[in-house]
Structure 1
């Protein structure tokens, strides 16, 4: 062997006997082994999603650029380094440049952490594989012990449902595929700080994964090479089958269009370039020692340069073709469900374990194809090699992103400048008989280093689908060396929909601008956090918010900008602002000032994690089974709703929550008419989908307009500040009569019921209630709480009223309790509880209501809502 080594290496080893290093049985074994190492799960799920996310065909421009300047040069470097030295990932650096032997150890640490994370995916795949050996695929049915009452099978359910999100946007129902993934496979604990019980089934699958990996390599290069004949080729066969089947489905071309349609404007976004560069490093397995180790088993004169070019093209080609397989199925699902393809597109493991399981159900003999598909996933994991929380952390903070970019920089500097690119070119020529293209050497010396360094500067931490609190933050701080801090905060005064001033906040991070405007209710409870107004009657009638704006710009912004805090740490940032304010009801800065920043941080946190805002909010609440909120009424688009007492009214509430309610007649503070009660709503509980509910609501609304116009004239159809009609009537019963007639004329007497927001605190006078409070005061017309309760009961008896919000004053506790106890409808606390933990607790103890509204503007921070619950 010594005679076959170059002169430099013979001199280095002259004083010691060289142990003969094993060699590949044939060139095919090397090609297949490297192909198996670099073509893995990232090709199946990550590249197609990034291509779609970052401008379709336009993404291929930065991807190709980094392929030429980073991917291929690094691939050639590492493969040639291993072949030249005939040493693994650590010893090769000792022979080339002993001072930087630490590069080898660094790559082994990354591989160690990467193996821990990726073996989990193989364990999941084994669980799916074993589950496929059944008469009926378990994720294709709702008859399993882990399924909930809300489970439905997509093929028999409404086609407009979105089954790639945990819960569909218009319903609390969830798909059997999603429930199998979430409740059977993951079965998540509340967080990383709560490890939960040992999952024996997954533990055995994990053990099996490690055992198979061991037997693939236990005899070294000989067993590895033979194993790759099957493990590296079988996945290509399955991808071809899925691609062919997918292209034959209706809607496939629609999916391919979304996949490849070029959006050149996206090239101006630095994140597109970051994604392209890190995907090259991620999928090519560079900077990990893989290629060096595999190349070290080549014969000295093997043409590693040509092999590297072919393997790089094979890798990128596989990624590209995988996109056709994936998006053809996504196009079919999009057409079948009647939603935009962006709704069904999913990144990460969710794509493999949610979209593909449904895809195999569309093939003949689904059990067979399910076994084959998950066998492919296992083989990809074996070749390329804590639970979901830990998997996500390792994946995003150790195995990709800045870590690999830094490794690429050091590697190119060591070979390009310290060892010498010309010298290494001579070594390659000594092996293959000619020098590679000069571009490769140029990239080692400058372009690769330049590209990698700029990627490091552009890249922030990459988000992930599962947000982990408390202990997770400590864990992440150990693994990462960069955070996404706040760069700038600026507040201003704007107008809300009612023409009143409110606070708007612009928050800047390295990912861009995130803007939030503070909501404000028409009627506010006295126990809410203080909304700071200027009280300068010469300006906006005293409703200006310039003081709140100034507090943000002069106090809050300087305290947060540049701090070592990430925007995903919502609770920490909210608490910092609360501590700075130092008052119980946020009266120093104003709840509107604190909330404006809190909302902007929340939007930035969602962008940082790469998830929709509602998912991020669910993560903050520690709720993995996220429910996408549906507006309960137009006045409360930013409100979340929750019930806290089990009753018949709770069941009614769930019905309303999955639909929307329309505020169609305005009174109280919303309108200039004499009507005392604030809102009269219609609730289309008979609608089967969100779309149908909107149609029914719109039809009743327009019928109501005709009814009002016929009875009171054209001017009676003027609207209040929330869009409901505001006829100048006094009797609240008359408003209900108008609704009843409109519902009947629209033909929906069985599908539509009525809800009310009374806002009784507006007309509470000396322990009684004035239903004509907009007229000159006359105590003789006041009615007692009992009389008002009897009036509500008459409404319930004569009309389909099933929900009343704020029926009594915020301090009239006994009236609330008596009424809730004596009726079967939904009684909602808003002004009563004002998202205040103490008042919510009292409402629970007093059994004052059976449902409540939660509003961020009442408590002043995003996390304050979660704490209130």
Structure 2
């Protein structure tokens, strides 16, 4: 909230001698095209960092005081206080505001982005398919990870929130609407981002693919750089980052609610002091997140982003789909839906649940193991011990499944056959009620 965004020029204390502003970079590129100007500096332009990159890495993160995961440095108190403020806001969160505000901001940014010079170049790149990438395993794994993170299956958020519905709630309609909104939001966000990337590519006479980044720098470095060159840039910056804050609040709220609901259902006695339980849960999460607020916390974030969920999450959802379709049974599951909604799921859904989804998920999991993603930020190369820690994150989630199976096997009375039969038998038998002629959908 200043007259000028602080990442536009290189005249700040956090800037280095290798800093160059976006405007200076454009002049050097034009000079190179016209074979004029200081060619030696133009040739070595890759050795220079843009002002917005130095602002994010030096001023915001303090990355210049860290040397990687080997030395992340102390906690940066400004980021730690922002994290504390996040959890305080969650205690008094108005979800109706934070859930709808990003859509308003996205529409505003879309209109502004489409009016920028060269925006059509980015939109064309966004909509132009590259069919040769269909054979790239990483594309499919990344696509699955994106869907899991945006829609939320496997995290327990959807199940936790749905558990508060009435038994006759139209879950079929909710599932279709939720998936459609998720798909539409992703498409809308793509137009917002690539219209601005097209403008930046046009200004620098570069390809759109060379402007974008694969890490968080796309949101915290590339996009803010484009904002700094707009009229009333501080206003657009406030709007953009306010949207990111509301998105972060919503995501954190859903994740915490899933954990809280699961624990409170498992230990009903805690419901009497739900406020204190929620406060304790937030303190625990805040303490665990402090590692990401250090000067080198961005390296921790990228490591967790790569290994913390995507690989194990795909396998967990595969087991969920298999348990519902093959152990609980598609027919029993379909009768449950019929008793709730009055109609029987059609053949398409039953084939998806029983065959297509499990096979697709298992294939993605195998591919993610064969060709795992690697964490990256800038040019930092993660050491082997950090990669080992990442795989420990993966198996920390997966090991909970066989551990619980062993626990239930030991706890269940009877011989080996009786134990196995009991473990694969549903604990509650649904009541189907009066026989109803199936209405297929």
Q: Same fold (TM over 0.5)?
A: yes
Partner of 1:695: none
Asked if 1:184 is matched to 2:59, the reply is yes
1:189-588 equivalences under 5 Å are 189-216=66-93, 227-385=94-252, 386=291, 387-400=297-310, 402-459=311-368, 460-466=371-377, 467-469=381-383, 471-480=385-394
In structure 2, relative to structure 1, the CA distance for the partners of 1:252 and 1:168 (3 Å cut) is farther
Paired residues in the alignment total 335
Deviation of the 1:446 alpha carbon: 1.2
1:779-794 equivalences under 5 Å are none
1:804-843 equivalences under 5 Å are none
Partner of 2:4: 136
Deviation of the 1:273 alpha carbon: 2.5
CA contact (8 A) 2:138 2:373 kept: no
CA contact (8 A) 2:307 2:391 kept: no
CA contact (8 A) 1:147 1:180 kept: yes
1:58-97 equivalences under 5 Å are none
Per-residue CA distance 1:295-327 (angstroms, 9 max, x = gap) = 011122221111110110111111112111111
Partner of 2:431: none
What CA distance in whole angstroms lies between the structure 2 residues aligned with 1:196 and 1:168? 34
Per-residue CA distance 1:242-288 (angstroms, 9 max, x = gap) = 11111111111111111111222222333332233332223211001
What CA distance in whole angstroms lies between the structure 2 residues aligned with 1:195 and 1:472? 13
Per-residue CA distance 1:205-227 (angstroms, 9 max, x = gap) = 111112212333xxxxxxxxxx2
What CA distance in whole angstroms lies between the structure 1 residues aligned with 2:143 and 2:68? 31
- Long gaps (5+) in structure 1: 1-132, 217-226, 483-869
What CA distance in whole angstroms lies between the structure 2 residues aligned with 1:431 and 1:296? 14
Deviation of the 1:159 alpha carbon: 4.5
Per-residue CA distance 1:160-209 (angstroms, 9 max, x = gap) = 659xxxx9974233211011011112222112231312211111111111
Partner of 1:86: none
1:717-728 equivalences under 5 Å are none
- Long gaps (5+) in structure 2: 31-40, 253-290, 292-296, 397-441
What CA distance in whole angstroms lies between the structure 2 residues aligned with 1:160 and 1:294? 54
* Residue of structure 2 aligned with 1:154, choices 5, 8, 22: 22
In structure 2, relative to structure 1, the CA distance for the partners of 1:161 and 1:383 (3 Å cut) is farther
What CA distance in whole angstroms lies between the structure 2 residues aligned with 1:141 and 1:246? 22
What CA distance in whole angstroms lies between the structure 2 residues aligned with 1:168 and 1:194? 34
What CA distance in whole angstroms lies between the structure 2 residues aligned with 1:413 and 1:299? 26
What CA distance in whole angstroms lies between the structure 2 residues aligned with 1:469 and 1:243? 40
CA contact (8 A) 2:338 2:344 kept: yes
Higher strand share: 1
What CA distance in whole angstroms lies between the structure 2 residues aligned with 1:242 and 1:331? 14
In structure 2, relative to structure 1, the CA distance for the partners of 1:329 and 1:160 (3 Å cut) is farther
In structure 2, relative to structure 1, the CA distance for the partners of 1:184 and 1:441 (3 Å cut) is same
What CA distance in whole angstroms lies between the structure 2 residues aligned with 1:465 and 1:215? 35
TM-score by length of 1: 0.37
CA contact (8 A) 2:7 2:228 kept: no
Per-residue CA distance 1:636-675 (angstroms, 9 max, x = gap) = xxxxxxxxxxxxxxxxxxxxxxxxxxxxxxxxxxxxxxxx
Deviation of the 1:434 alpha carbon: 1.6
Deviation of the 1:337 alpha carbon: 0.7
In structure 2, relative to structure 1, the CA distance for the partners of 1:330 and 1:458 (3 Å cut) is same
CA contact (8 A) 1:160 1:338 kept: no
Aligned-partner SS, 1:241? helix
CA contact (8 A) 2:98 2:250 kept: yes
Deviation of the 1:444 alpha carbon: 1.7
What CA distance in whole angstroms lies between the structure 1 residues aligned with 2:388 and 2:143? 29
CA contact (8 A) 1:235 1:376 kept: yes
What CA distance in whole angstroms lies between the structure 2 residues aligned with 1:474 and 1:168? 41
Aligned-partner SS, 1:480? helix
Higher helix share: 2
Aligned-partner SS, 2:89? helix
CA contact (8 A) 2:22 2:225 kept: no
What CA distance in whole angstroms lies between the structure 2 residues aligned with 1:253 and 1:170? 30
What CA distance in whole angstroms lies between the structure 1 residues aligned with 2:385 and 2:137? 31
In structure 2, relative to structure 1, the CA distance for the partners of 1:265 and 1:197 (3 Å cut) is closer
What CA distance in whole angstroms lies between the structure 2 residues aligned with 1:236 and 1:168? 41
Deviation of the 1:373 alpha carbon: 1.2
CA contact (8 A) 1:274 1:455 kept: yes
What CA distance in whole angstroms lies between the structure 2 residues aligned with 1:265 and 1:195? 39
CA contact (8 A) 2:376 2:382 kept: no
What CA distance in whole angstroms lies between the structure 2 residues aligned with 1:259 and 1:395? 24
RMSD: 2.2
